Amino acid sequence: MGGAHAFRPAEHIRKRSDYTRIYDSGSKNHGRLMTVFVQASERPHARLGIAATRKLGPAVDRNRAKRRVRELFRHHKPDAGLDIVVVPRRELLDAPFASLEAEFRVLVERRGPRGAPRAPRHGRSSRPRAHSGV
RNA sequence: GCAGCCGGCCGGAUGACCGCCGCUGCCGGUAACCGCGGGCAACCGCGAAGUGCCGGCAGGGGAGGAAAGUCCGAACUCCGCAGAGCAGUGCGCCGGGUAACACCCGGGCGGGGCAACCCGACGGAAAGUGGCACAGAAAAUAUACCGCCCGCCUUCGCCCUCGGCUCUCUGAGCCUCGGGCUUCGGCGGGGCAAGCCCAUGACAGGGGGCGCGCGCACGGAGCCGAGGGCUCCCGCGAGCGGCCCCCCUCUCAGGGUUUACCCCGCCGCAGCGCGGAGCCCGGAGGGCGGAGCGCGAAGGUGGGUAAGGGUGAAAUGGUGCGGUAAGAGCGCACCGCGCCGCUGGCAACAGCGGUGGCAGGCCAAACCCCGCACGGAGCAAGACCAAAUAGGGAGGCGAUUGGCGCCUCGGCGUCGCAAGACGCCGGGGACGGCCAGGGAGGGCGGCUCGCCCAAGGCUUCCGGGUAGGUUGCUCGAUCCCGUCAGCAAUGACGGGGCUAGAGGAAUGGUCAUCCCGCCGAAGCGCGCGGGCCGCAAGGCCCGCGUGCGAAGGCGGACAGAAUUCGGCUUACAGGCCGACUGCGGCG
RNA sequence: GUCCCCGUCGUCCAGAGGCCCAGGACGCGGCCCUUUCAAGGCUGAAACACGGGUUCGAAUCCCGUCGGGGACG
């Protein structure tokens, strides 16, 4: 029943190779609370990966950051096939949830401004894949 | 009531919406490898299997006391291993508990606290090696040194001078007072190379603070003296000294301080007695006096001694009496220590008695010795399944000719004592080692021709094995309750329960209400002090402290399982329960 | 997760029970030299990660924290 806000295993990014691919050829946007990598994919649904490094804090803080980011993804899930990797910053831990939602929306959709979902730096052309939401 | 001490426990609650991960049941969809059968084959059917996977619904479960640090100990897994030892590491009072431990319990000993109680790496220093700065005679050998005592040897000044005495009298000798020289020692003052400190204010003095140290000292006066020490006074139930910081004299300074060295001044030391002969005077007798003797001092030397020696973190048992030439556990008493015996205790150890005569400093978290334990790695251990790509092995298909190279055998030649090496010729063999030819096949193409690529080909199987997946993975030295044994740790028995299993890693997100703590105006209560009124009881006002206190605000810790247990260590807001100790109050 | 290693001036090192209130080089401050700068000379400031313990005495030896780095078919 609850499918709209669910977060299924298929929506996790798990493989190391997926992460490196998104780091290399996805678009990258910095915010005050987090950094977001976005890359388009062939899948019918979006996927999420979280990279909480030890720099963020001890295990309690890292787990809390991941839970809040997952919650963001559940409530603001893009309908298109996008691979998203979020790198949380320390400021994310104490920020109000509403400010997280605002920043997450902006960072995910900002991938547009400098052209379609495309690797800005590595120029390895991924063909323009019309996405309505920009 | 306050302060303390020990043990145990909890570690926010409830609800709403949206979610996550296992398990169980039901419902819907749906495979594959593989096996069997059929078919020329593509493939089909059956089994595997309605399993696994995907989705839905329902039920039930889902972080900790430290999950942390990874400091110990184990289980488990793989590797290694005849046995024993060495090395290395860890542990170290005794007894018990345990699967094991560096953990726990009980006891002993030592230390701290008024006490409850707390703390302790707590074997061995006559097995050996080594270290102990500075100071000090000496830092481990009980010797040397200083000193004390005994014996022996040598020596016991010089110059000037007041005064005196004697004589053989412009002089000589002797005694005495004072001074000087020389040598040594002590005390005081001054100078100053150099070092250090100081405008961030030195130094000195005074006051205050803090911690550490010593403890009847500090200060004052005197005495003995070889080293070095002793006595008295003041003070006295507590202080004193050193270091550091702050303040004041003080915005005062080219100054202060220490040691070495130099100079100056002061003090101290440098024989006395008896005495035959002799000489002189003489009444007795007296004076001088060589040698000698005794005592004393200085130096040297031979011995005795371990009492004492400013030091130091530490000094060779302590105190007292006797004893001695001086001394000494040399003797005695007490204390300490070692050994032996008895008693109590399983033991560590304790008590008592006897005995020895001191038997030898500290450091083993210095090397080490003794006793005990330990094979190594770690769930990224290990096991199973197994893409793509590359590579390995075996087979099949296709072309299989020549040359070079390779292997082997034979002959000849050169070198060599030989073994053998090198070269040439010939026979045989293998080969995807190289080159050329050949061309199965492939590409362009509807087909042929043609062109291009081309033995680094196509294909089957096998083994290792990467990504990935499955497993190991949660029923266990398990948890709860009770009984029994035990002082306890713990164990035995009985009953009951199943209590997270993720894997880029779940156990939550957002909000509401409540709970707890802190702040908190007005107001109220209590205590203390002051003022006013009142004869008094008391009342009023002011100030301070304290308790209760609405709305509201702030806060609710430390921290997230990763193979699993037993410990240790570290972090932690707030709260609850119980035992005990000290002090105060009331009865 | 499992297992190792290391912490000394601002930086890189030395020191290995007392000679160390810790030494050297570079860097930093001041003075001298120079017309000036550099070089050179003189000089100064500056550190034992933290907390306990052993010892007469600890940067050094032991224990525990904290921080940093590394390895993992």
- What digits encode the pLDDT tens for the residues A79-131? 777 888 888 888 888 788 888 888 888 888 876 443 334 333 333 333 333 33
Q: pTM score, two decimals?
A: 0.68
Evaluate whether residue A133 is within a structural domain: no
CA A68 – C1' B230 distance (Å)?
A: 90
By C-alpha distance, which of A100, A40, A38 is closest to A66? A100
Evaluate whether residue A128 is within a structural domain: no
Given a contact cutoff of 8 angstroms between Cβ atoms, the answer to whether A57 and A90 are in contact is yes
Evaluate whether residue A4 is within a structural domain: no
> Domain containing A29 — which CATH number?
3.30.230.10
Evaluate whether residue A134 is within a structural domain: no
For the stretch A34-50, what's the b/e string if a residue is b when 16 or more beta carbons lie within 10 angstroms of its beta carbon?
bebbbbbbeeeebbbbb
By residue range, what is the domain housing residue A58? 9-112
User: How far apart are the C-alpha atoms of A11 and A13, rounded to whole Å?
Assistant: 7
Nucleotide nearest to A9 (CA to C1'): B20
- What is the predicted pLDDT for the residue at A88? 87
Which residues contact residue A2 at a Cβ distance below 8 angstroms, ignoring those fewer than 6 apart? none
Given a contact cutoff of 8 angstroms between Cβ atoms, the answer to whether A74 and A7 are in contact is yes
Residue nearest to nucleotide B506 (CA to C1'): A67
Q: A68 vs A112, which has greater pLDDT?
A: A68
Given a contact cutoff of 8 angstroms between Cβ atoms, the answer to whether A51 and A12 are in contact is no
Q: How much is the ipTM here?
A: 0.75
By C-alpha distance, which of A29, A2, A5 is closest to A84? A29
Evaluate whether residue A106 is within a structural domain: yes
Which residues contact residue A3 at a Cβ distance below 8 angstroms, ignoring those fewer than 6 apart? none
What positions of strand B are covered by protein, i.e. any atom < 7 Å from a CB?
A: 18-21, 54-57, 63, 467-469, 503-511, 559-561
CA A127 – C1' B204 distance (Å)?
A: 93
Evaluate whether residue A35 is within a structural domain: yes
User: How far apart are the C-alpha atoms of A23 and A114, rounded to whole Å?
Assistant: 17
Looking at the 3D structure of chain A, how many domains does it have?
1
Evaluate whether residue A126 is within a structural domain: no
- What is the predicted pLDDT for the residue at A4? 60
